[in-house]
């Protein structure tokens, strides 16, 4: 057979020319041993590493979820994504002025961990960088604000209007027929309004988060003035006053919203009750003029802690921790003793400060006191952990994190760090 070598030679020449024109070298032109990776990671080792990493990551997420179960709401997750993960920091930082001419101490608190206030004209919530999460004008002559976790309620004292708020929104504007004495709200949006009554001295109306009434109770013998609901929105503690034989008598009620009659009732003589708080563990405190009352609701018992002729200058009721208060031997409030009681009613701290204390807060084992222009932090054993100067007109402090505070002054809100 005759072979046409000229044809094959032409084909070889064409292939060489095409190879020369290539811009990049093809692996087809290089022996396999010349471009093989020298020490590749075994596939099974890579898969095992990724599997272990995924398991550890999911375990960390699970632990964080269990520890913060009550905080895992859609709103909080969205806020964490925007402000913590993405670093959104709207605002110019603290100190910052507030809208309106004045804020009373009780109208400055936290909602979802950030400052909220109600001035004489405005309801507002700020973020951690003093940016405005929301701001709304109101027409209330005597606004009072109460907050609980992610909710707040602002009501017009001795009038009929009220507003439900969250960190980023106004949830509801409502009104009742009778004038409001007091109000409180639970973390699930259930809220209670203590009002006047046509046929009784006072009435408590409890509403679901969709604003439908779920419970009502009337008081025939006492003028009621305080209310605090539990974390589930199923029970409440209230206090009121009356007179008997020319003497003042205060009363403490414990109500269960599934029962027609009261659960517990305690009368106390010759003391006025300023405030009550239903604690997250199911117990309660009532702060009186000259005594502190601890209610063990499960056991149906009340204990009294006397101030021993000392004057109450400041206090803070914390649903998750108990109560902290300052007591002075002098009517002008000098040389205060700082005391705190845990959620079981046990005294866990007593410190002689030598200062005139005007505001208090606590976080974990730390106790913070505002006196004059200084915030001082103590541990429960009485050791001073640090101090820092703040505005000369500061009159209320709120813990921000473990060593920083928000402070309320006459014209602005500031942030102060104590220690490192």
Predicted pLDDT of residue 50: 77
Closest CA to 337 of 316, 320, 352: 352
- 88 pLDDT band, cuts 50/70/90, is low
Domain span holding position 83: 57-88
Query: Does the structure show a pLDDT above 60 at 37?
Result: no
Query: Does the structure show a pLDDT above 90 at 20?
Result: no
- 295 pLDDT band, cuts 50/70/90, is very high
Range with the lowest mean pLDDT among 73-82, 124-133, 272-281, 406-415? Answer: 73-82
Structural domain contains residue 280: no
Query: Does the structure show a pLDDT above 70 at 286?
Result: yes
Angle at CA 138, nearest 5°, toward 132 and 139? 160
Structural domain contains residue 342: yes
Contacts of 205 (CB under 8 A, 6+ apart): 176, 192, 193, 195, 213, 215, 216
Predicted pLDDT of residue 39: 54
Q: Whole-angstrom Cα distance, residue 260 to residue 219?
A: 12
Q: Whole-angstrom Cα distance, residue 221 to residue 133?
A: 43
Domains contained in the chain, number: 2
Query: Does the structure show a pLDDT above 60 at 373?
Result: yes
Query: Does the structure show a pLDDT above 80 at 30?
Result: no
Which of 65, 88, 111 marks a domain boundary?
Answer: 88
CATH code of the domain covering residue 405? 2.130.10.10
Which of 38, 66, 88 marks a domain boundary?
Answer: 88
Query: Does the structure show a pLDDT above 80 at 2?
Result: no
The whole-number average pLDDT for the span 304-329 is 97
Structural domain contains residue 341: yes
Show the 3-state SS of the chain: CCCCHHHHHHHHHHHHHHHHHCCCCCHHHCCHHHHCCCCCCCHHHHHHHHHHHHHHHHHHHHHHHHHCHHHCCHHHHHHHHHHHHCCCCCCCCCCEECCCCCCCHHHEEEECCEEEEECCCEEEEECCCCCEEEEEECCCCCEEEEEECCEEEEEEECCCEEEEECCCCEEEEEECCCCEEEEEECCCCCEEEEECCCCCCEEEEEECCCCCEEEEEEECCCEEEEEEECCCCCEEEEEEEEEECCEEEEEEEEEECCCCCCCEEEEEECCCEEEEEECCCCCEEEEECCEEEEEECCCCEEEEEECCCCEEEEEEEECCCEEEEEEECCCCCCCEEEEEECCCCCEEEEEECCCCEEEEEEECCEEEEEECCEEEEEECCCCEEEEEECCCCCCEEEEEECCEEEEECCCEEEEEECCC
Structural domain contains residue 118: no
The whole-number average pLDDT for the span 328-342 is 97
Predicted pLDDT of residue 8: 47
Structural domain contains residue 404: yes
Contacts of 1 (CB under 8 A, 6+ apart): none
- 56 pLDDT band, cuts 50/70/90, is confident
Range with the lowest mean pLDDT among 35-49, 72-86, 195-209? Answer: 72-86
pTM assigned to the model: 0.81
Predicted pLDDT of residue 54: 81
Query: Does the structure show a pLDDT above 70 at 3?
Result: no
* pLDDT, tens digit, 9 for 90 and up, residues 232-256: 999 999 999 999 998 999 999 999 9
Buried b / exposed e across 97-106, counting CB within 10 Å, b at 16+? ebbbeebbee
* pLDDT, tens digit, 9 for 90 and up, residues 392-407: 999 999 999 999 999 9
- 154 pLDDT band, cuts 50/70/90, is very high
The whole-number average pLDDT for the span 327-351 is 97
The whole-number average pLDDT for the span 313-323 is 98
What percent of the chain stands above pLDDT 90?
Answer: 77
Query: Does the structure show a pLDDT above 50 at 220?
Result: yes
Structural domain contains residue 332: yes
Predicted pLDDT of residue 309: 95
Predicted pLDDT of residue 44: 64
Query: Does the structure show a pLDDT above 70 at 99?
Result: yes
Query: Does the structure show a pLDDT above 70 at 330?
Result: yes
Predicted pLDDT of residue 59: 78
- 65 pLDDT band, cuts 50/70/90, is low
Higher pLDDT, 3 or 351: 351
The whole-number average pLDDT for the span 20-42 is 51
Range with the lowest mean pLDDT among 36-45, 102-111, 178-187, 196-205? Answer: 36-45
Predicted pLDDT of residue 12: 52
Structural domain contains residue 215: no
Confirm if 153 and 165 have CB atoms less than 8 A apart.
yes
Predicted pLDDT of residue 106: 97
Which of 41, 71, 88 marks a domain boundary?
Answer: 88
Structural domain contains residue 382: yes
The rounded mean pLDDT for the chain is 89
């Amino acid at each position: 057979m005759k072979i046409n070598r000229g044809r094959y030679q032409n084909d070889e020449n064409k292939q060489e020319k095409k190879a020369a024109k290539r811009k990049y070298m093809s692996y087809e032109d290089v022996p396999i041993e010349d471009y093989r990776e020298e020490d590749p990671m075994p596939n099974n080792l890579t898969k095992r590493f990724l599997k272990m990493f995924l398991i550890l990551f999911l375990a960390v997420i699970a632990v964080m979820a269990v520890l913060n179960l009550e905080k895992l709401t859609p709103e909080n997750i969205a806020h964490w994504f925007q402000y913590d993960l993405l670093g959104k920091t709207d605002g110019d930082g603290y100190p910052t002025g507030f809208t309106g001419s004045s804020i009373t101490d009780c109208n400055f608190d936290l909602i979802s961990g950030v400052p909220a206030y109600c001035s004489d004209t405005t309801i507002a919530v700020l973020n951690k960088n003093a940016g405005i999460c929301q701001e709304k004008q109101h027409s209330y002559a005597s606004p009072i604000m109460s907050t609980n976790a992610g909710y707040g309620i602002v009501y017009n004292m001795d009038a009929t209007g009220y507003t439900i708020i969250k960190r980023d929104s106004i949830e509801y504007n409502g009104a009742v027929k009778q004038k409001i004495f007091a109000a409180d709200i639970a973390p699930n949006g259930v809220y209670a309004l203590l009002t006047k009554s046509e046929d009784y001295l006072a009435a408590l109306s409890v509403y679901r988060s969709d604003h439908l009434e779920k419970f009502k109770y009337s008081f025939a013998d006492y003028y009621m003035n305080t209310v605090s609901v539990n974390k589930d929105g199923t029970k409440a503690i209230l206090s009121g006053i009356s007179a008997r034989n020319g003497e003042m008598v205060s009363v403490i009620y414990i109500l269960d919203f599934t029962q027609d009659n009261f659960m517990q009732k305690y009368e106390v003589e010759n003391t006025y009750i300023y405030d009550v708080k239903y604690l997250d563990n199911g117990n309660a405190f009532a702060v009186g003029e000259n005594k502190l009352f601890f209610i063990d609701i499960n056991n149906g018992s009340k204990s009294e802690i006397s101030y021993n002729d000392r004057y109450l200058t400041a206090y803070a009721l914390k649903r998750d921790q108990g109560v902290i208060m300052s007591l002075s031997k002098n009517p002008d409030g000098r040389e205060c003793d700082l005391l705190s009681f845990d959620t079981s009613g046990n005294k866990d701290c007593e410190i002689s400060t030598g200062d005139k204390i005007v505001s208090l807060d606590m976080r974990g084992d730390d106790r913070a006191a505002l006196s004059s222009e200084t915030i001082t932090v103590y541990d429960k054993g009485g050791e001073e952990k640090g101090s820092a100067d703040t505005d000369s007109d500061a009159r209320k402090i709120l813990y921000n994190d473990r060593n920083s505070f928000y402070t309320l002054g006459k014209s602005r809100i500031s942030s102060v760090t104590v220690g490192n």
